[in-house]
Structure 1
Amino acid sequence: MAASAAVASTAPQPLRPRAAPRWALGNLGVASSHRALPLHDRGTRRLAVSASSTDTETSARGGAERFYFNFTGFPFPLGPFLNRRTIRTEAVKGRIWLFEQEQALGFSSVSTNTRMTVVKLKSGGLWVHAPIAPTKECIQLLKELDAPVEHIVLPTFAYEHKVFFGPFTRKFPKAQIWVAPRQWSWPINLPLEFFGIFRAKPLKDEDEDTPWAGEIEQKVLSSPEVGIGPYVEVAFYHKPSRTLLVTDAVIFVPRQPPECISKESLLASAKNGLAVKILSKGKEVPDEPVMDNQLNRQKGWERMVLQILFLGPSNLLEPNSSFAQMSQKLIVSPIVKTLVFSKVPEKVRDWVDSIAADWPFRRIIPAHFSAPVNASRSDFLAAFAFLDEFLPERSAASPGLPLLFASLMGKAASYFPPDDMKTLSSLDEFLVSVGAVKKTVSGRKR
């Protein structure tokens, strides 16, 4: 996700949207907020994924309504290349909606979901966070909310979100455009206008002068010390619904795949290809056709998750054990933890502590995997408990019961299977040796 080199790219605009009928689908793995589905229980705390509606909305049509041509994104273009299904879910009744599309890594069989969040402001207009591909279907589902788009926000530097920002903003020329600061691209650092992003205003840390300041607050994490470019992410807090919005800071991996991921992608991942053979620990890998059934779709999802989180997990042939340890809890992605947050622990800790101190949120909406996640400030702090390894003096200076409790929970949230971490750790050492990422620049040195 955002830990990859962030290269901004343009994507051609799809055809002009037109009306399409809707139909309701079961919301896979999502329960009503009045009957939240328990996904993780630590005894005194419970995390769950919930939505205020058990229905998802999507177009009854495919084909032209879902067409979007995209071969941009260096070094791996982001698929699907021609067809993107959009799923709309009401997360907070009458206030917040989630729009999801499949996002594939290049020409591989690895996919996840990418999410756009839409908030209805008191003005009656819409505030759009992290736009996705503006297909006919996506734009139509947005217009069905029957409110004007007033603000469009790019909360990160990462190219998987930036790639659709310019084309999306051109669909709403009257909207105000806002972008996270310190945008950059690689291997050539080009201005935003080159990527079709015009009239953009920078998002500032704790800015009280934004048009939405009375309803949505913001905190900027900007760390230039990470590597060839800064890591930048803006967190938002929607005060009326007590909702925290992040991009890649934390994730909650669901037990079952998001609805927007196609069965073709899941079955392709279930096949015993080259990656499975390499990571099979010398076991015999059967070469047989993959039947379309729930077991194989689940296997495909588990393999996808482990490759997204670890790049080279220890055993793709039998992914169940590692998947069970990584799913159903609020965590920081192993890639983001290893390549980004462990490099600048003091800055990340300041950002995390500020969020937890100032914002009494009760749910979190990330840009990938499950959302919304019913989670408190203690759950959020627990996901970042690994920072104590780099800042032992700081964590010991202010123990406090809430922090001690978060630390205890964090031992589980921050634990990643050592065998699965080997490839990522080796990659980290290599990137440090060539200067692509840096060693820890604050706290305890590596």
Structure 2
Amino acid sequence: MIESFADDIWIASGPTVTGAGGFHFPTRMAIIRLEAGGLFVWSPVALTEDLRDAVDALGPVEHIVGPNSLHHLFIPDWAAAWPQAQLHAAPGLDTARPDIRFDAILGDAPDPAWAGTLDQVVMRGNAITTETVFFHRPSGTVIVTDLIQHLPDDWFSGWRKLIAKWDRMTGPEPAMPRKFRLAFTNRKAARAARDRLLAWPAERLVMAHGAPVTEDAAGLIRRAFAWL
């Protein structure tokens, strides 16, 4: 259910979700224990009783984060389960989900509650979504939602398999899907955010849609953003 990824960071896989065009995607979330002992929940997956029990065993949930405007389906269930938690939205998510009461909008500076553990940068200039990328300093883990993906070659079939290959959702290594590349209409803003991201001493990579990376994470991230 929940597996340890590094000291004070855990990951959990959820059920597949179906997006536009009938494309289905695996889901993954991350849970981080902050310095004071509270939990930071990133991109929560579908909440089950077993998952709730496992999370409660780690500590109190204090922050629930929607890292872009596409990852929000299960936030209401988590907010109901832990009503004391603060809800944080990437820019644009609050507009996409006006029914959710968000406490704060994510910016380029980490919230004081997690500034000692996490850094972050907002990838602006994309017409599809504005994503906040996080960096877990103690483990050297970069955490991305949709900007880097990697699905098995046989994940899709038929015409969807052909489109996924063209889109770079599948391939020899994790990469930025072509649709997100094309959607960066403000490349100056994108490059500024990329430069901050590449300055992090990355050792690991966690993706919402793809297996975690524990080797050559810095090189992989650099290659994923090299087109900019």
TM bin, normalised by shorter chain, reads 0.7 to 0.9
CA contact (8 A) 1:253 1:329 kept: no
Other-structure match for 1:167: 77
Give the letter aligned to residue 89 of structure 1: E
* Secondary structure at the counterpart of residue 227 of structure 2: helix
Once residues 180 and 109 of structure 2 are traced to their aligned partners in structure 1, the CA distance between those partners, rounded to angstroms, is: 24
Give the letter aligned to residue 310 of structure 1: I
Q: Where do residues 303-382 of structure 1 align in structure 2 (5 Å cutoff)?
A: 303=157, 307=160, 310=163, 326-338=170-182, 340-341=183-184, 343-357=185-199, 359-382=200-223
* Secondary structure at the counterpart of residue 196 of structure 2: helix
Q: CA deviation at 1:223?
A: 2.5
Give the letter aligned to residue 303 of structure 1: S
Is 1:102 aligned to 2:15, yes or no?
yes
Other-structure match for 1:153: 65
Give the letter aligned to residue 170 of structure 1: A
Offset from partner CA, 1:25-68 (integer Å, 9 cap, x none): xxxxxxxxxxxxxxxxxxxxxxxxxxxxxxxxxxxxxxxxxxxx
The TM-score, its normalising length taken from structure 2, stands at 0.86
Once residues 102 and 122 of structure 2 are traced to their aligned partners in structure 1, the CA distance between those partners, rounded to angstroms, is: 20
Q: CA deviation at 1:169?
A: 1.1
Give the letter aligned to residue 213 of structure 1: A
Other-structure match for 2:5: 91
**Mind listing any 5+ residue stretches in structure 1 that lack a counterpart?**
1-86, 256-298, 315-321, 388-446
**Mind listing any 5+ residue stretches in structure 2 that lack a counterpart?**
none
Other-structure match for 1:116: 29
Question: Using a 3 Å threshold, how does the CA distance of structure 1 residues 107 and 231 change in structure 2: closer, same or farther?
Answer: closer
Name which of 231, 239, 252 aligns with 2:150: 252
Greater share of strand: 2
Other-structure match for 1:205: 108
CA contact (8 A) 1:310 1:335 kept: no
Question: Using a 3 Å threshold, how does the CA distance of structure 1 residues 174 and 165 change in structure 2: closer, same or farther?
Answer: same
Name which of 125, 136, 146 aligns with 1:223: 125
Other-structure match for 1:386: 227
Once residues 161 and 63 of structure 2 are traced to their aligned partners in structure 1, the CA distance between those partners, rounded to angstroms, is: 31
CA contact (8 A) 2:35 2:116 kept: no
CA contact (8 A) 1:221 1:233 kept: yes
Identity of aligned residues (%): 28
Which protein has the larger Cα radius of gyration, Structure 1 or Structure 2?
1
* Secondary structure at the counterpart of residue 236 of structure 1: strand
Q: CA deviation at 1:374?
A: 2.8
Give the letter aligned to residue 163 of structure 2: F
Once residues 309 and 156 of structure 1 are traced to their aligned partners in structure 2, the CA distance between those partners, rounded to angstroms, is: 26
Q: CA deviation at 1:212?
A: 0.8
CA contact (8 A) 2:174 2:210 kept: no
Other-structure match for 2:132: 234
CA contact (8 A) 2:39 2:60 kept: yes
Other-structure match for 1:144: 57
Once residues 184 and 176 of structure 1 are traced to their aligned partners in structure 2, the CA distance between those partners, rounded to angstroms, is: 14
Q: CA deviation at 1:217?
A: 0.9
Give the letter aligned to residue 347 of structure 1: A
* Secondary structure at the counterpart of residue 379 of structure 1: helix
Once residues 109 and 221 of structure 1 are traced to their aligned partners in structure 2, the CA distance between those partners, rounded to angstroms, is: 26
Q: CA deviation at 1:382?
A: 1.2
Once residues 162 and 236 of structure 1 are traced to their aligned partners in structure 2, the CA distance between those partners, rounded to angstroms, is: 17
Q: CA deviation at 1:139?
A: 1.3
CA contact (8 A) 1:309 1:334 kept: no
| Pairwise CA RMSD | 2.9
Give the letter aligned to residue 152 of structure 1: I
Report how many aligned residue pairs link the two structures. 228
* Secondary structure at the counterpart of residue 223 of structure 2: helix
Other-structure match for 1:73: none
Q: CA deviation at 1:356?
A: 0.8
Q: CA deviation at 1:366?
A: 1.2
Give the letter aligned to residue 329 of structure 1: E
